[in-house]
């Protein structure tokens, strides 16, 4: 704990000297011993190893089996298509992994600038990688801090640490501060400076206490390296489905071959049919369909300013139950803003969205604040302290012309802010007269005032006036506003620095805060209605964080807020107040953020974490969905995240969750449709053989059916327009099966219906020619006609049945039969291709088919519509049951 040790003890422990620094020889020795001052990443896997890792998946193993079997059967085109799907999926996975591995590289770039170091008694500029423990670093405005430093000297030193701590304004540093609390958050370690932060004001001198991976930024890199990637809910479900399908395919082979053997059928032909059916039972196009649907989702989300880095992350968004959001720059605007002011004339005034007519007192207050400021702001860009920029914008809001004011009141002298006085003063000349303006904390300033401005003139400052200012300060503090006061005095004679800040006339004070983004409150409310809890995690102070959280509707009382120090003091076994009960986590370190995310995950939540700073990178990496800010976010945060918001808008996350839910629903529609169709094929084949019929479909016909239904209709279902009511439902459980909410029933009922209808059509093909399928010596052309009937019926059944999968309860007619133009086109194209196969002599011979007569066409199409009618009847019963339940409620 370097911050708790005196500077002299730190120097002695590091064998360094503040005046001389290290010798060149000693520095070289330490560099050899400790290594370069840079961040290191894990050894990267070669691209080939990443490629083979993508193939280690159960569904991929099943598809490899299908490739081998189809090629062995002579179906080389089918085998090549399945193999192409496998390779394409693996290549996409490798590309995503290579991109994701760049988080540490961005951290390394962040810590790379040169540094001023004192060695052998002389100051020189060296590469930051050469800095070692014990080096004396010179800190000055505009420079990055090259390592973790215990400050030895500080003169008005302010350092921008928002990337590490999440605080909106630069931290004031004090080398002489004596800090004892060993659980002190980084933001409160005022005698320390940290690698990758930026000096914004003043100067300092410090001794390096940690370099490279031992720094606070290095610890973040460690966390990123150690975090193991987990499978998304979709990947887990597909893995389970792959295992089930593999077992089913083997089971079908055994059952079919066994039945054929028991019945004394030709084993060679039936083995081919059994294997074909096993291949047909596996939806080979599933992997490609999932990839296509996710890719379409990614494109749609990019149009809505949400950029997805990893395809399965799209679906995971739909399962999110908790959004852990950083405060600064995510829930808030990351710019200090004056929201209220106080003077004796008007008392406290709130600044609303629109301009209001200010009093003369308010204009004088704003004028004093502007003149006593070093910041600039023009064309939407500001330089200087964020607090002072807020004062300039305060003046703009009241209608003050700052350019005109600067010309009329020229600065003649100033007393810069320092940490002892905690005041800043300027002397302006206006109309030939000199006036001193002094700003600072109200407690410091009011002690130096003897009078107060009231209705345009100074009056004596009484105890009543002081009490009024104290009450106003307490009110502003209760809202977590930062207060700043200003006073003035005429300068009658020559400028005397010692006397300027005494006997002042108090004008008033302002209250400022980093305000919430205007759209965030509505988004949090929408998320709550969708069953998604929002949690604030920030490096800022507890009071400020809770005030924003209460305003946004994240937390209701202060018991729901906790600090990092309080978390450290908690016992791990404390179950009375689990971490997941809190809604605001303030003054937390990167390690705390990871711990909080893991706590929610351990209770079964799917967690999205938003952030923009270096300090957010580990938790972004740990969360199920890491969401980085694209505009204000650091490269480190963007690279560690799964999703990037191009507009830094919290509302975009909620829109992305809605999109994720619809994408999962569409994938589920495709999967259930494929399985229902394949179950229909299996039932038709197994039932036919069990009741002693010839096989109603041949091996090549089975593969054609699979090719037709596994592609266009399934992909079209994946492109279905979103359900407008999807955000009125509770989040989906990560353990929920594909077969939940009636999907299993639809697969079984649909599969049985399709299988029985296929058998009926097969039987009708014989009946139409006046023979029974049990007769002996049936001519080949009649066998082919019967199979053509079964072939056409099963294709019609599956294609028409696809329309019913668009919603599990709503009628296809209420949704609109043609509202999914892709599905309409897919079914039309499927029927056209089927007609081509049926009517073209070459294709007829290849598939051993006969052209149907008019009665056969009517029968095949009529039977094909039966599953649709059956589905509509079941949906009607479901809607009636739901309406009755709602009426009773």
Q: Any idea which residues carry the catalytic annotation?
A: 326
449 DSSP 8-state letter:
E
Task: Give CA 726 to chain center in angstroms.
Answer: 20
**R_g of the chain, CA atoms, integer Å:** 36
- Taken as a whole, the chain contains a residue count of 889
Q: Minimal CA–CA distance to 126: which of 140, 148, 146, 149?
A: 146
Residue that the structure tokens 């102070």 belong to? 541
Question: Can you tell me whether residue 512 is helix, strand or coil?
Answer: strand
For 614, the token pair is 């270096």
- d(CA 238, CA 227) in angstroms, rounded, equals 23
Q: Minimal CA–CA distance to 607: which of 713, 541, 548, 535?
A: 535
What are the residues facing 342 on neighbouring strands? 348, 509
**Inter-axis angle of helices 267-281 and 233-262, nearest 10:** 160
For 425, the token pair is 């003063």
- d(CA 405, CA 391) in angstroms, rounded, equals 14
Q: Minimal CA–CA distance to 703: which of 284, 255, 113?
A: 284
C-alpha distances (whole Å) from 847 to each of 73, 93, 779 are 15, 38, 17
Q: CA 671, 675, 678 angle in degrees (round to 5)?
A: 140
Q: Dihedrals φ, ψ of 85, to 5°?
A: -60, -45
- d(CA 337, CA 801) in angstroms, rounded, equals 59
Q: Tell me the CB-side half-sphere exposure of residue 820, using CA atoms within 13 A.
A: 30
In terms of Cβ atoms closer than 10 Å to its own Cβ (0-12, 13-18, 19+), residue 322 is: buried
Task: Give CA 19 to chain center in angstroms.
Answer: 49
What are the residues facing 324 on neighbouring strands? 535, 609
- d(CA 38, CA 205) in angstroms, rounded, equals 21
- d(CA 840, CA 782) in angstroms, rounded, equals 19
C-alpha distances (whole Å) from 184 to each of 3, 6, 130, 189, 405 are 9, 16, 30, 7, 44
- d(CA 4, CA 192) in angstroms, rounded, equals 10
Task: Count Cβ atoms below 10 Å from residue 186 Cβ, excluding itself.
Answer: 23
C-alpha distances (whole Å) from 212 to each of 2, 35, 132, 375, 737 are 16, 8, 9, 34, 46
Q: How far apart are the first and last CA of the chain?
A: 61
Max CA pair span of the chain: 129
For 455, the token pair is 């209705």
176 DSSP 8-state letter:
T
Q: Minimal CA–CA distance to 204: which of 213, 217, 194, 212?
A: 194
């Amino acid at each position: 704990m370097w911050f708790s040790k005196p500077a002299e003890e730190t120097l002695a422990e590091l064998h360094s000297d503040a005046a001389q620094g290290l010798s060149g020889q000693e520095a070289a020795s330490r560099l050899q011993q400790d290594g370069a001052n840079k961040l290191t990443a894990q050894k990267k896997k070669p691209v080939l190893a990443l490629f083979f890792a993508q193939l280690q998946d159960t569904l991929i193993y099943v598809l490899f089996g299908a490739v081998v079997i189809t090629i062995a059967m002579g179906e080389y085109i089918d085998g090549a298509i399945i193999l192409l799907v496998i390779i394409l999926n693996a290549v996409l996975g490798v590309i995503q992994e290579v991109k994701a591995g760049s988080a540490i590289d961005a951290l390394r770039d962040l810590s790379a600038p040169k540094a001023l170091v004192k060695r052998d008694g002389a100051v020189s500029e060296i590469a930051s990688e050469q800095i070692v423990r014990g080096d004396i670093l010179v800190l000055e405005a505009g420079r990055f801090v090259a390592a973790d430093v215990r400050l030895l000297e500080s003169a008005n030193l302010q350092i921008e640490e928002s990337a590490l701590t999440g605080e909106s304004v630069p931290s004031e540093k004090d080398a002489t501060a004596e800090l004892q609390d060993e659980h002190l958050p980084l933001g409160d370690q005022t005698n320390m400076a940290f690698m990758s932060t930026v000096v914004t004001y003043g100067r300092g001198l410090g001794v390096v206490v940690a370099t490279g991976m031992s720094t606070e930024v290095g610890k973040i890199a460690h966390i990123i390296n150690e975090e193991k990637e987990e499978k998304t809910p979709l990947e887990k479900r597909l893995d389970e489905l792959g295992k089930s399908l593999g077992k089913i395919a083997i089971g079908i082979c055994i059952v079919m071959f066994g039945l054929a053997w028991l019945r004394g059928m030709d084993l060679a032909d039936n083995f081919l049919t059994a294997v074909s059916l096993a291949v047909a039972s596996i939806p080979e196009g599933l992997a490609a369909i999932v990839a296509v649907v996710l890719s379409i989702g990614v494109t749609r989300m990019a149009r809505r300013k949400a950029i997805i880095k990893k395809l399965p992350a799209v679906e995971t968004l739909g399962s999110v139950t908790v959004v852990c959001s950083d405060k600064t720059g995510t829930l808030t605007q990351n710019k200090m803003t004056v929201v209220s002011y106080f003077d004796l004339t008007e008392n406290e005034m709130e600044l609303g969205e629109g301009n209001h007519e200010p009093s003369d007192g308010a204009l004088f207050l704003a004028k004093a604040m502007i003149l006593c400021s070093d910041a600039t702001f023009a064309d939407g860009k500001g330089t200087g302290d964020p607090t002072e920029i807020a004062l300039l914008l305060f003046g703009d809001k009241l209608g003050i012309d700052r350019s005109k004011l600067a010309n009329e009141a020229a600065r003649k002298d100033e007393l810069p802010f320092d940490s002892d006085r905690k005041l800043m003063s300027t002397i302006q000349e206006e109309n030939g007269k000199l006036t001193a303006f002094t700003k600072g904390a109200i407690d410091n300033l009011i002690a130096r005032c003897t009078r107060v401005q009231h209705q345009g003139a100074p009056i004596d400052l009484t105890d009543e006036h002081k009490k009024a200012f104290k009450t106003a300060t307490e009110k502003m503090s209760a809202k977590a506003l930062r207060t700043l006061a200003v006073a003035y005095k005429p300068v009658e004679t020559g400028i005397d620095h010692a006397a300027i800040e005494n006997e002042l006339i108090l004008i008033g004070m302002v209250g400022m805060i980093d305000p919430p983004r205007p759209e965030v409150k509505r988004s949090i409310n929408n998320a709550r209605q969708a069953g998604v809890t929002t949690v604030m995690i920030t490096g800022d102070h507890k009071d400020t964080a809770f005030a924003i959280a209460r305003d946004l509707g994240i937390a209701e009382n202060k018991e729901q807020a906790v600090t990092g120090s309080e978390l450290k003091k908690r016992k791990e076994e404390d179950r009375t107040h689990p971490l997941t009960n809190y809604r605001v986590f303030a003054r937390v370190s990167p390690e705390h953020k990871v711990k909080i995310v893991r706590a929610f995950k351990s209770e079964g939540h799917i967690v999205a974490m938003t952030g923009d700073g270096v300090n957010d990178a580990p938790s972004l990496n740990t969360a199920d969905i890491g969401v980085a800010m694209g505009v204000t976010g650091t490269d480190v945060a963007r690279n560690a995240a799964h999703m990037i918001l191009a507009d830094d808008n919290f509302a975009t996350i909620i829109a992305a969750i809605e999109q994720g839910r619809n994408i999962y629903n569409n994938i589920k529609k495709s999967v259930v449709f494929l399985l229902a169709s394949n179950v229909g094929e299996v039932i038709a084949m197994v039932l036919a053989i069990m009741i002693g019929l010839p096989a109603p479909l041949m091996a090549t016909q089975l593969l054609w059916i699979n090719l037709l239904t596994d592609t266009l209709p399934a992909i079209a279902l994946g492109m279905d327009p979103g359900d407008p009511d999807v955000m009125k439902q509770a989040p989906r459980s990560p353990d929920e099966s594909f077969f939940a909410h009636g999907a299993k029933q639809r697969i079984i009922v649909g599969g049985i219906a399709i299988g029985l209808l296929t058998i009926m059509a097969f039987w009708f093909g014989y009946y139409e020619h006046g023979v029974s399928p049990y007769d002996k010596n049936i001519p080949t052309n009649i066998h082919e006609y019967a199979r053509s009937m079964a072939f056409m019926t099963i294709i019609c059944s599956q294609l028409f049945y696809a329309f019913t999968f668009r919603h599990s309860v709503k009628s296809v007619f209420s949704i609109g039969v043609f509202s999914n133009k892709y599905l309409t086109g897919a079914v039309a194209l499927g029927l056209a291709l089927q007609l081509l196969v049926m009517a073209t002599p070459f294709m007829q011979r290849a598939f051993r088919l006969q052209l149907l007569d008019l009665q056969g066409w009517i029968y095949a199409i009529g039977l094909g519509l039966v599953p649709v009618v059956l589905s509509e009847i079941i949906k009607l019963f479901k809607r009636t049951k739901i309406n009755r339940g709602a009426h009773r409620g």
